[in-house]
Structure 1
Amino acid sequence: MNKIKFFVKTIITITVVVSLSMLLHKVSANSIPAITAGTSGLPKTDVVDISSNNGEVSINDFQKMRNYGIKGVVVKLTEEKTYRNPYAAKQIANARAAGMVVGAYHYSWYTTTASANAEAKYFTDYASSLNLPKDTLMVNDLEDTYTKQNNVTANAIAFNAQVKAAGYSNTVIYTYPSYVNETKLDFSYIGTNRVWMAQYPYAPSANDLWNTIYGMWQWNSNTSFPGVEGTFDVTVDYKNLLVPKTQTNSTDGTYFETVNGKVYYYENGTQYINRFYSNWGKMY
């Protein structure tokens, strides 16, 4: 998702400002290791999140990601009340065609309960126009410095309530530890199982998992998948918030999965919901 920004304030000279900015950028980039999916000994790669920066992302690309464990994709839909991801419809369609479970996120800028309500409505309006089902995982991406207000919890509560009022009950909040520490963001309104925490260890390891008290942990933002252009944020889904709880595969690539009590059946790139099919000699 949108990464933590660095701000340098100085009154010395423009040259010093530029030099400091370049140094901070270099330190930031070096602090997040470049990861290649499939490398042994790493945390799971259950989920990726994408935005317009990733372009359309083809069905073939998503299928390659599936080979490395990716089962869910969270697509950026909106930001503030002025931006809609123009690739969202195609990204969603391609992810589904590759057999992925799709969620959506909004990058928040709100500073009051009124603006939180307005941004949440902007988010759900676009989700509805894209025909996203009401059980779609809907994420409040709360990380921007601009949002760090004394009333940050009240604003987050208002955003969450408005999303649910639009019929989208499957809500999650995304943030990072220093944001929580600085703002005293309180998760009691949504529960720790509904928190998606971003924190990037310099040496990630499957034997040293972080943030296990939360629903999901985004553990790297610089992961490449062989054969796929660009790098991606990767997440382990501890509480199965997005990835299927049950999945059965056949030899011909047709499969079904159960998520939040609904049966999703995939055949030839088409997703069917709560319908019964005779396949492999059995009824599902």
Structure 2
Amino acid sequence: MARDSKPSRRRALLFATVTVTALTMGATVLTELPVQAAARPRGHDVSSHQKHVDWSKTKRKGARFTYVKATESTTYKNPYFWKQYDGARGAGIIRGAYHFAVPDKSSGRAQAAYFVRNGGDWKADGWTLPPALDIEFNPYDSHKCYGMSKRKLVAWISSFSVEVLRLTGRHPVIYTNYHWWKICTGNSGAFAVNHALWLARYDQSAGALPRGWSYWTFWQYDNRGGLPGDQNLFNGSMAQLRRFALG
């Protein structure tokens, strides 16, 4: 997921590949722009890097859903958020908001409240995806786990989740990648029951899943492609995507 403070992307380690049995959909291995994309809703995620998105054009190019960066820590708001978020809805694209976690700056509860106040709310209108938490390698210094223990990071995620649920009625979707989750949470299985997984892996398959999850709900498979920003798939039909939005 893109940071807004600098144009550089995630460190290469984030999407290092591992030798695993390829995850399939309908027994067909997903490829770069998956062959299955015609049968699975395609989407993308954007931040201030994408600025002024032509949403009608994006819809014509195949976008059926999008996540828009709303906030980071308790100090940053995407200045293009509302134009992007409302623009997607106006073009007939299901949209949701995500928060970039910086766990060493403030509590999970504080960041969740800031997020919900600034675009991360949810309503059961069929057009709003549940709020999403983007948690991954620290982009600001060498402490990839934010200088926090596995136990403290799991507690931080739990605190964020509890507050989002209290404020919105939905558990947040968790965006992460297998390597960060394994290293920084000890491959915790504490969130798999109630939280949809948005898995980041730039490869021909989604690869290994964090403990407890038996499937991904969203897969971010590339950071470039036909749609603005990062490229994603939803693991289901369009009807299932609408049901997921409804809760």
Q: How does the TM-score come out when normalised to structure 2?
A: 0.71
**CA spacing shift, 1:182–1:209, aligned 2, 3 Å:** closer
Tell me the secondary structure at the aligned position of residue 71 of structure 1: strand
Deviation of residue 123 (structure 1)? Answer: 0.2
Partners of 1:138 and 1:168 within 8 A in 2: no
Unmatched segments (≥5 aa) in structure 1 = 8-26, 28-37, 226-230, 247-256, 263-284
Partners of 2:130 and 2:245 within 8 A in 1: no
Looking at structure 1, the residues matched to 84 and 179 of structure 2 have their Cα atoms a distance apart, in angstroms, of 31
**1:143-162 aligned within 5 A:** 143-145=136-138, 148=145, 149-150=148-149, 151-162=152-163
**CA spacing shift, 1:5–1:237, aligned 2, 3 Å:** same
**1:85-164 aligned within 5 A:** 85-111=78-104, 115-127=107-119, 133=123, 136-145=129-138, 148=145, 149-150=148-149, 151-164=152-165
| 1:50 lines up with 2:46 in the alignment | yes
| 1:233 lines up with 2:230 in the alignment | yes
CA RMSD of aligned residues (A): 3.1
Deviation of residue 214 (structure 1)? Answer: 2.1
Corresponding letter in the other structure for 1:224: G
Partners of 1:109 and 1:144 within 8 A in 2: no
The Cα offsets for residues 5-59 of structure 1, whole Å up to 9 and x where unpaired, read as 369xxxxxxxxxxxxxxxxxxx9xxxxxxxxxx9673655622100011012123
Partners of 1:218 and 1:233 within 8 A in 2: yes
Which structure's residues are more often strand, by fraction?
1
**1:29-48 aligned within 5 A:** 41=35, 44=40, 46-48=42-44
Q: Percent identity?
A: 21
Partners of 2:129 and 2:245 within 8 A in 1: no
Looking at structure 2, the residues matched to 154 and 138 of structure 1 have their Cα atoms a distance apart, in angstroms, of 19
Deviation of residue 161 (structure 1)? Answer: 0.5
Deviation of residue 182 (structure 1)? Answer: 0.7
Corresponding letter in the other structure for 2:88: A
Unmatched segments (≥5 aa) in structure 2 = 3-8, 17-31
Corresponding letter in the other structure for 2:235: Y
Partners of 2:46 and 2:68 within 8 A in 1: yes
The Cα offsets for residues 153-201 of structure 1, whole Å up to 9 and x where unpaired, read as 1110001011111124142110111101212142423438611110111
| 1:71 lines up with 2:64 in the alignment | yes
| 1:180 lines up with 2:181 in the alignment | yes
Counterpart of 1:81 (choices 74, 94, 115) is 74
The Cα offsets for residues 207-243 of structure 1, whole Å up to 9 and x where unpaired, read as x554572222111112134xxxxx5211121157xx5
Partners of 1:72 and 1:101 within 8 A in 2: yes
Looking at structure 2, the residues matched to 244 and 213 of structure 1 have their Cα atoms a distance apart, in angstroms, of 18
Partners of 1:4 and 1:143 within 8 A in 2: no
**CA spacing shift, 1:163–1:223, aligned 2, 3 Å:** same
Deviation of residue 244 (structure 1)? Answer: 4.2
**CA spacing shift, 1:147–1:155, aligned 2, 3 Å:** farther
The Cα offsets for residues 107-134 of structure 1, whole Å up to 9 and x where unpaired, read as 000138x611111111011127xx7536
The match for 2:10 is 4
Partners of 2:122 and 2:168 within 8 A in 1: no
Looking at structure 2, the residues matched to 82 and 260 of structure 1 have their Cα atoms a distance apart, in angstroms, of 28
Corresponding letter in the other structure for 2:86: A
Looking at structure 2, the residues matched to 158 and 81 of structure 1 have their Cα atoms a distance apart, in angstroms, of 15
| Rg comparison, structure with higher value | 1
Corresponding letter in the other structure for 1:103: G
Looking at structure 2, the residues matched to 50 and 187 of structure 1 have their Cα atoms a distance apart, in angstroms, of 28
Looking at structure 2, the residues matched to 59 and 94 of structure 1 have their Cα atoms a distance apart, in angstroms, of 6
Tell me whether 116-125 or 134-143 shows the greater mean CA deviation: 134-143
Looking at structure 1, the residues matched to 33 and 144 of structure 2 have their Cα atoms a distance apart, in angstroms, of 36
